[in-house]
Each structure stands twice: as structure tokens, then as C-alpha cells.
Amino acid sequence: MSIKIYFAGSIRGGRESADDYLALISNLQKYGTVLTEHIASEALLSKEKKMTDQQIHDRDLEWLQQCHVVVAEVTQPSLGVGYELAYSMFLKKPVLCLFNTAKGKQLSAMISGQKYFNVVKYHEIESIINEIQHYFNNFDFEQTQHNTVNK
């Protein structure tokens, strides 16, 4: 069984990191199925206009329940990503937060101060790839099985 990864990143809060999302999602696909690979799509906003906000919300929460691990790019502040991280913690899902220090932003204390989240800071995409590899090489798939809801 493949690891199911929920990738979170800002959508309506800003698409400044869309190229980074594409690189990160492409890398994450080495380790499992990325349930939210559409986040890197240039056509994302136009595709989601065909869905109601409730449909998007319900779909995403279902994916969060099904996933084994959450990886969130948290450089671009986003209410939605914050909501997903809190829900992930409630579900006891492992969470890896990625923060790009080169963008000149400050990470919210609500993320950096939360000991539950594994926060990794990076300066360029290439440098975070090794950190992701290390994380998934040490990922305990069996431990997360009991936290996964298969619908």
C-alpha cells in the first residue's frame, strides 16, 4: 500500500509559490500518492470555480482523513492552510511544514511555536529536497495506519 500524502499550500491567499509547489509535489510523488497534486496546476482556480466552497471543503477534509502524512508549504500565509494544519493535528496526522526563508517573510508563531509540527526552514527548493528525503526515509508508515480513515 502506498503512502497517501496531503500537500497543502496557499491557493486563494496567493499563488506566488505555485512553481515551488510543482517542484515539491513532483518530489513528493517519489514517496507516495499526492492526493492534492492539483495544487500545482496553473488552471487550479478556474477548475475550482466549478465547485462550491462547501464541495471544496468537504473534499479536502475527506482527503485529510484518508492521508497518512501532511506536507505543507507555509511560506505564503493562508487561512486555509492554517485550518488544514489544525485539523491534521486534531486527526493526529504527522505534519511536515516547509518554510522558505529567502522570501523575506516571517513564519507565524502559531506554526513555529507548535511542537506538534515538524518545521523545516530552507533557502531554495534544491536544499529542501534532501530534507524531504530524510523525512520520508525515516517515516513510520505502520504508526500512521491507525490514524487513517478509508472511506
Count of structural domains within the chain: 1
Mind listing the pLDDT tens digit for each residue in 77-107? Answer: 999 999 999 999 999 999 999 999 998 899 9
The grid coordinates of residue 132 equal 524531504
| Domain containing residue 90 | 3-145
Query: With the CA atoms of 32, 23, 6 and 80 taken in that order, what torsion angle do they form, in degrees rounded to the nearest 10?
Result: 180
Structural domain includes residue 150: no
Taking the C-alpha atoms of residue 85 and residue 89, their distance in angstroms, rounded to an integer, is: 6
Structural domain includes residue 99: yes
Structural domain includes residue 30: yes
DSSP state at residue 76: S
Tell me the pTM.
0.88
Residue 139 is part of a domain; what is its CATH number?
3.40.50.450
Whether 62 has a pLDDT exceeding 70, the answer reads yes
